[in-house]
Homo-oligomer: A and B are copies of this chain.
């Protein structure tokens, strides 16, 4: 009854608001008169080149900011449309935005959006052959489950995603688990929405290249102060330290028990992996290497963000740790400026008697690198 009154009062307020405004009903299915034909952007050509377009009648300059590339100047035509056509791009998914008179601007003509807590982007798909592991094929598909919980560790409402392989619902078997972590500024949906991990796993499972497994993708922040401070957060060592500490705590004491309580998973260190990209790579190393009783398969893709004081970061590591680990896989793109810290980390690990798998690939700090990292890393797990 009380809710009804509250609802009623809001409806009255809403009515007052609506009455003061005339009938704009842009989503009506019967709008009178046809709106102008939408401008096409992006337009992918047969050779993989892409034309981007944005209308900005009074702008003096516009640039395309394409993932993994320097800003590219756009030219204005006589209909006030700025445009640029790239050279042929290798088939992949590319994030992008525009800079119009220096202002970051999304492509409102393109409904494909990259979720991100600081810099949401659009993306464009340059279609490739079905043999590319991130292309959807006519194979059995897993599911993505979105979970919500109240974290007492972080004191907020948060979420995680769980990928279940295609066989999950028709088998009684238990599965190993990979905890897969996103990077700074991403949200928990990054590995599915951008990284295409579910498509990649569907394909690799169909080909028999990876063991069917559960993949858990939690929100990767130990404090949301990391996001409130924006990129400046990395100048706040106290926030960064709290972030890493509390992330490990919410993962081990809140997410993992929930997952192991609900899903048919093998609950032992030999069937538990942790991997991530960038900030999530560091979290995988910090959580994994400091909890070898819990994780024995560890991956770090382009990891960064922790102090280069490895003795302090990983106080428990010694030559005996090597026997406990099934896999320590450390990858970075050679054009990523994090390559140096990754090389230093590998050297330090070796000085401790631990030999990581050392992966250097062409590429920068981009999803093009991380999708390929996942394709190479996943087949090594649980074997």
Chain A residues at the B interface, C-beta cutoff of 8 Å: 2-3, 6-7, 10-15, 17-19, 21-31, 34-35, 37-38, 55-60, 65, 68-71, 89-92, 97, 100-106, 108, 111, 113, 115-120, 129, 131-133, 136, 138, 141-150, 157, 169, 183-185, 198, 230-232, 234-235, 262, 278-279, 304-305, 333, 335-338, 341, 361-366, 368, 372, 375
User: Interface residues of A: mostly helix, strand, loop or mixed?
Assistant: loop
**Contact B7 A375, beta carbon cutoff 8 Å:** yes
- CB A70 to nearest CB in B, in angstroms, measures 5
**Contact B105 A108, beta carbon cutoff 8 Å:** yes
Docked complex Cα distance between A257 and B97 (Å): 41
Docked complex Cα distance between A144 and B361 (Å): 37
Q: Which residues of B contact A230 (CB under 8 A)?
A: 35, 37-38
Query: Considering only CB atoms, which chain B residue lies closest to A136 in the complex?
Result: B157
Docked complex Cα distance between A361 and B10 (Å): 11
Q: Which residues of B contact A15 (CB under 8 A)?
A: 335, 362-363
Q: Which residues of B contact A59 (CB under 8 A)?
A: 58-59
Stoichiometry, copies per complex: 2
Q: Which residues of B contact A31 (CB under 8 A)?
A: 231
Q: Which among B116, B305, B368 is the interface contact of A111 at CB below 8 angstroms?
A: B116
Q: Which residues of B contact A29 (CB under 8 A)?
A: 183-184, 234, 278-279, 304-305, 338
Docked complex Cα distance between A15 and B335 (Å): 9
Q: Which among B34, B68, B70, B103 is the interface contact of A232 at CB below 8 angstroms?
A: B34
Query: Considering only CB atoms, which chain B residue lies closest to A198 in the complex?
Result: B148
**Contact A24 B71, beta carbon cutoff 8 Å:** yes
**Contact B21 A68, beta carbon cutoff 8 Å:** yes
Docked complex Cα distance between A23 and B234 (Å): 20
